[in-house]
């Protein structure tokens, strides 16, 4: 059994994987002040809820973009699970040498997303993650990482707007009936959601023009991926658990089954 942990800026996803299949996954708030003992309480309770025996967990792999949580995750794994966790970093000697020793500050979550795409879907690829930030990563025909872009996430930018504008308030994240809104709520929803769709499609088209490539695979993942993908003209596949799939592929490469 593999415990895969994806620690993002806002939430941490814990997944239990057996034979490449994600059995269960849960989300908790990412909090850099949590100790290894507190993290252990979450893992123990979640495993109990799933009917999973703790001794069955033989491997732990971690993607983290919150350095303050790393020590607690490492110590929890070592002390309570008796496993030495693998942290995903750009310096790992990947079998698919897609980074070619460059991009040493690339986030672990983006590495996992690309590894999941690289090992399962046709190239070239664009991978879009709708998280706290919206990241775009590009893999060329041979699997080489060409680069990408980072923008404020949909919820992040919306929350900043609501804080800065006294007369604007939170909205339900659902598409309005028409692009041209007739009240403040529908106008906000149109601008935020249709704006995100057109930003996505626009970036994909710009990347295609700049590279001269036709992308057979445009993957999306993250909290609002399904919503944006439902209206996008360029996204081909949406995989909510793409990062966990990447963590699984990396664990299988670097941590032998015991």
CA distances for 232 relative to 51, 111, 199, 207, 210, angstroms: 39, 24, 10, 16, 20
* 68 and 74 Cβ atoms separated by less than 8 Å: no
Active site residue 109: yes
Q: Indicate which residue of 6, 109, 129, 241 is catalytic.
A: 109
Residues with a catalytic annotation lie at 109
């Amino acid at each position: 059994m593999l415990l895969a942990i994806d620690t993002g800026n806002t939430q941490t996803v814990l997944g239990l994987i057996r034979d490449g299949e994600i059995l269960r996954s849960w989300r908790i708030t990412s909090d850099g002040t949590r100790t290894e003992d507190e993290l252990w309480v979450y893992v123990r309770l979640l495993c109990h809820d799933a009917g999973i025996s703790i001794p069955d967990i033989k491997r732990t792999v971690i993607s983290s973009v919150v350095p303050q949580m790393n020590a607690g995750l490492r110590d929890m794994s070592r002390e309570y699970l008796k496993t030495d966790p693998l942290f995903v970093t750009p310096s790992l000697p990947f079998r698919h040498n897609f980074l070619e020793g460059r991009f040493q500050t690339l986030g672990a979550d983006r590495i996992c997303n690309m590894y999941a795409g690289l090992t399962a879907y046709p190239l070239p690829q664009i991978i879009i993650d709708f998280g706290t930030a919206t990241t775009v990563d590009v893999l060329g025909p041979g699997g080489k990482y060409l680069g990408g872009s980072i923008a404020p996430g949909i919820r992040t930018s919306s929350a900043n707007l609501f804080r800065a504008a006294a007369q604007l308030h939170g909205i339900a994240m659902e598409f309005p009936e028409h692009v041209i809104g007739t009240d403040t709520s529908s106008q906000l929803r149109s601008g935020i959601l249709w704006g995100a769709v057109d930003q996505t499609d626009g970036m994909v088209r710009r990347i295609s023009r700049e590279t001269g490539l036709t992308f057979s695979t445009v993957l999306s993942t993250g909290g609002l991926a399904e919503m944006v993908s439902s209206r996008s003209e360029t996204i081909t596949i949406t995989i909510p658990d793409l990062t966990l799939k990447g963590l699984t592929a990396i664990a299988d490469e670097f941590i032998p089954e015991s």
